[in-house]
Amino acid sequence: MRDVLSRVSGKWSTLLLLALLDGPLRFSELKRCAPDISQRMLTKSLTELRRDGYITRTVYPTQPPQVEYALTAAGTSFLQAWQNVVVWAKENQAHVHASRSRFDCEEKRLIDMMTGTPAAGISRGARWRSFLRYSALTR
């Protein structure tokens, strides 16, 4: 199971599958959908998705050869399941961002306490005791 999930949860795989949701695309069109991806990584990702049966590759006998990539039934099925994750992410985005902010503030306060920055305004011994209490609570 882990090998299947690792492939579709890769940095580019889901983005490429989503780009193909509206229909077949050529290599250059897929590259425009993910402008930060290198040509090598795009080729590798498409090959892996083809190997796992999520997409097909069709070569047309033109000069130069035209190549299109399209979703298979398995790719479409995956995206239907993935839509629930996308909906969850949209609904919980604010909560996740707030949690990150709280965590970052707590970490900064803890680091300030340990390094003795003036903003902490407490003695080294008090910082150490507070750190130990915090550490015990977070285990």
What pLDDT shows up at residue 104?
85
Q: Who wins on pLDDT, 87 or 123?
A: 87
CA 41 to chain centre: 15
Q: Which of 26-30, 49-53, 119-123 has the weakest average pLDDT?
A: 119-123
Going by C-alpha positions, the residue among 51, 112, 104, 49 that lies closest to residue 79 is: 49
Give per-residue pLDDT as tens, 30-81.
Answer: 999 988 999 999 999 999 999 999 999 999 999 988 999 999 999 999 999 8
Distance CA 22, CA 24 (A): 7
What pLDDT shows up at residue 71?
97
